[in-house]
């Protein structure tokens, strides 16, 4: 058995998910789930926010999530009463890079951040993270999302935002 990170499914972590007919009828809603779990809001509140802010269509993925959320964080700075901040080194307008220094022999090289390394370096805090084609939440080292999100620790992370209450 693979070593995995602690995990809670989105359905157990999100307020009112079990009683939401909208949540049960949606698909491709990882951004909605990550917003709801990261900010401790209901599925319906997160769904409405993502629909308005990202122009997300029912049962479709969220297009331009990274650039739009980064722009939102930089210009407004807060969401649902909590501060939201992009993490990493700014590469260009609304684009941050998640890299870290790793020792390889006598050299120090830049490596792209993986989910496992991120959790190890950030054991405390609330974060929305993006891997290829998918978003989920990490709260105090616990993955909230799909089972695979906790199991695939070597998955490369592309973006992350810290939520400060």
- Which range marks the domain in which residue 152 is found? 7-164
Q: What is the pTM of this model?
A: 0.94
- The answer to whether residue 111 is domain-embedded is yes
Residue 73, pLDDT > 80, answer yes
- The answer to whether residue 22 is domain-embedded is yes
What is the predicted pLDDT for the residue at 111?
A: 94
Residue 56, pLDDT > 50, answer yes
- The answer to whether residue 2 is domain-embedded is no
DSSP character at residue 5: -
Mean pLDDT, the chain, whole residue set? 94
164 beta partners: 83
- The answer to whether residue 86 is domain-embedded is yes
- The answer to whether residue 148 is domain-embedded is yes
Strands 82-86 and 78-79: antiparallel
- The answer to whether residue 1 is domain-embedded is no
Stretch 114-132: mean pLDDT: 97
Q: What is the total count of domains within the chain?
A: 1
Confidence band of 2 (pLDDT split at 50, 70, 90): low
Torsions phi, psi of 48, nearest 5?
Answer: -65, -45
Confidence band of 1 (pLDDT split at 50, 70, 90): very low
- The answer to whether residue 140 is domain-embedded is yes
Confidence band of 57 (pLDDT split at 50, 70, 90): very high
């Amino acid at each position: 058995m693979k070593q995995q990170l602690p995990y809670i499914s989105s359905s157990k972590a999100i307020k009112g998910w079990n009683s939401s007919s909208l949540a049960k009828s949606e698909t491709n809603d990882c951004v909605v789930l990550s917003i709801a779990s990261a900010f401790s809001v209901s599925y319906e509140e997160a769904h409405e926010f993502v629909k308005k802010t990202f122009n997300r269509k029912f049962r479709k993925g969220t297009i331009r999530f990274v650039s739009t959320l980064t722009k939102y964080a930089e210009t407004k700075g807060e969401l649902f009463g909590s501060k939201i901040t992009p993490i990493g080194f700014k590469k260009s307008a609304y684009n941050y890079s998640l890299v870290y220094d790793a020792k390889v022999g006598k050299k120090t090289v830049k490596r792209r951040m993986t989910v496992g390394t991120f959790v190890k370096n950030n054991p405390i805090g609330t974060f929305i993270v993006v891997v290829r084609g998918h978003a989920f939440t990490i709260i105090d080292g616990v993955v909230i999302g799909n089972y695979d999100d906790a199991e695939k620790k070597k998955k490369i992370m592309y973006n992350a935002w810290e939520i400060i209450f």
